[in-house]
Structure 1
Amino acid sequence: MSEAATRRAPGTPCWVSLLTGDPTTSRDFYRDLFGWEYQHEQGPTGPHFRAVLDGRDVACIRPMPKSRRCLPSWSPFLASDDADKTAETVRLCGGTVGVGPLGTEGTGRVAVASDPAGAPFGIWQDDTGGGAAADGGPGTVVWNELITYRTSAVEKFYRSVFDLDVEHPERDGERAGSEESDYLTVTARGRIVGGIRGVGSALPRDRGAHWLVYVEVEDTDTVARRATELGGEVLVPPGDSPYGRTARLADREGVPFAVISTER
């Protein structure tokens, strides 16, 4: 397979990672909610559980470093053709690099960074075509959305670091200039790969800017009820959207994530 065929366009989410203070509890929660199975591995950023569903890689769950004080969170890893160059651009554009870049046993390089608003994300240079399953299906991550105070504060950062394009889609029922209208879709080489949502004063004070992962499910309402039974919480109850029925949930540590059911 050629290099062009294996590498994803820069800025494309290619992996997601949960940073947690209690990996065992988190592992059990998502196993019971989505049916994930796990393999314990040693990666460049330390030991972690790699989540697998029907033989496909889905995500990883890794312990919070004892040397760093940070909130547990889900974060996407964004593809890069050169992790070292991307990390340097992150710094030049007002972001921070907390870990790496580090080698991944000859297959590429990774780093962990934060944007100027403080939202953590990863950088992944991978030459083997690896990463999370990209074809969707129940139990897999199908969308990544940055929740931040104002899109204009980070738009230039992601455009500059990953050479992404952004668009402001028209949405029925939204008032121009309202907080609800502060939404951008992110495009990598002509393909929509994520979104940026500015929520203004609704941004959680205890969490700040963060990435929200959307996991596809067969029945949003059932999964929302199951999450509470497992010790999680419903942050935004199930409701219909133009893209499917969604709900915003939190796991046992309060880490937010979303689920979506669509008609395929």
Structure 2
Amino acid sequence: MKFDKPVIGGPCWAELGTSDLEAAKRFYTEVFGWRARTDPRPEAGGYTIAHVGDAAVAAITPLYQESQPVAWNVSFAVADADAAANKVVEAGGTVIHGPMDVLDEGRFAVALDPSGAAFQLWQARSFAGAGLFNAPGSLGWVELGTRDIKRARDFYTTVFGWSVNASEWYTQWGMHGQDFGGVMAMGDRFPADVPPHWLPYFAVEDVDTTTDVAVRAGGKALLEPTSVPDGPRIAVLRDPQGAALGIYQAGEEG
């Protein structure tokens, strides 16, 4: 991801919904060196912001509904959450929560694309999103896993106006000439019960070392460290509560 700050239409935040807030805080602190601070206000519902230095980089939250899966969620910045939610519906998606105000920080909605992949819309007020990108411990890429790439391209380009940079092997999303994410075809190696989803990738200093730390801390490597041809070294991990996330070598952004 070549952006160094939130850009309208691009990814601005990553948020983990987990079944064990304290265990997740310990795991990610060990893996990424995050400093996690839980908002003490009752109305914040345990919302915890992770920092690298002074910069907010991601959130960890309890599960707020019984139907909510343990998973990482990606938020995309929009100028108007209500207008964006209408575009989602018009393009064939579904809005399952909101739009609603979040204290004085912004307005958001949770949506599903036509295949069922969840994502969030974020209209910033006092909080714009992540204060750091591409540096170790921070968001650097987002990837959609889907079984229908053409339908996904039609949907997301309609809703967000993204550009598409497609090769024979991989499709990348972009804004203003800068690619920030991609699309992974969910083929036979994905069990049928794994739904379409968005996967955030966090930058790390060393993919192999971070994978080892994650496994020792109770996680699992779903994809062992590997070097992508003409791309970065990556791995895909699963945390102890079951949420998947990607990591990649800092300085090798797409």
TM-score (norm 2): 0.89
1:224 corresponding residue in structure 2: 211
Letter in 2 for 1:12: G
Give the distance between the partners of 1:128 and 1:136, measured in 2 at CA.
23
For residue 236 of structure 1, the aligned residue among 220, 223, 237 is: 223
Q: SS of 1:201's equivalent?
A: coil
Q: Where do 1:16-55 residues align within 5 Å? A: 16-41=14-39, 46-55=45-54
2:243 corresponding residue in structure 1: 255
Q: With CA pairs under 8 Å and 6+ residues apart, which has the higher RCO, 1 or 2?
A: 2
1:64 corresponding residue in structure 2: 63
Q: Where do 1:163-182 residues align within 5 Å? A: 163-169=161-167, 176=168, 181=169
Q: Where do 1:119-198 residues align within 5 Å? A: 119-128=117-126, 130-169=128-167, 176=168, 181=169, 183-198=170-185
Distance verdict in 2 for CA 1:152–1:202, change over 3 Å? farther
1:95 corresponding residue in structure 2: 93
Letter in 2 for 1:188: M
Q: Identity of aligned pairs, percent?
A: 33
- 2:109 aligned with 1:111, yes or no? yes
Give the distance between the partners of 1:217 and 1:107, measured in 2 at CA.
29
Q: Is the 8 A contact 1:239 1:246 kept in 2?
A: yes
Letter in 2 for 1:61: I
For residue 192 of structure 2, the aligned residue among 205, 209, 212 is: 205
Q: SS of 2:47's equivalent?
A: strand
Q: What whole-Å deviation, never above 9, does each CA across 1:137-171 have from its counterpart, x for those lacking one?
A: 111111111111121121111011111121203xx
Gaps of 5+ in 2: none
Q: Is the 8 A contact 1:71 1:207 kept in 2?
A: no
Deviation at 1:78, TM superposition (A): 0.3
Gaps of 5+ in 1: 1-6, 170-175
CA RMSD of aligned residues (A): 2.1
Deviation at 1:216, TM superposition (A): 1.0
Give the distance between the partners of 1:132 and 1:11, measured in 2 at CA.
14
* Aligned residue pair count: 246
Give the distance between the partners of 1:156 and 1:51, measured in 2 at CA.
34
Q: What whole-Å deviation, never above 9, does each CA across 1:36-76 have from its counterpart, x for those lacking one?
A: 1112125988431111111110100111123x413211111
Q: SS of 2:134's equivalent?
A: coil
1:73 corresponding residue in structure 2: 71
Give the distance between the partners of 1:46 and 1:99, measured in 2 at CA.
16
Deviation at 1:252, TM superposition (A): 0.5
Q: SS of 1:252's equivalent?
A: coil
Q: Is the 8 A contact 1:44 1:104 kept in 2?
A: no
Q: Is the 8 A contact 2:6 2:129 kept in 1?
A: no
Q: Is the 8 A contact 2:139 2:200 kept in 1?
A: yes
Q: What whole-Å deviation, never above 9, does each CA across 1:9-59 have from its counterpart, x for those lacking one?
A: 432000010111222211111111111111212598843111111111010
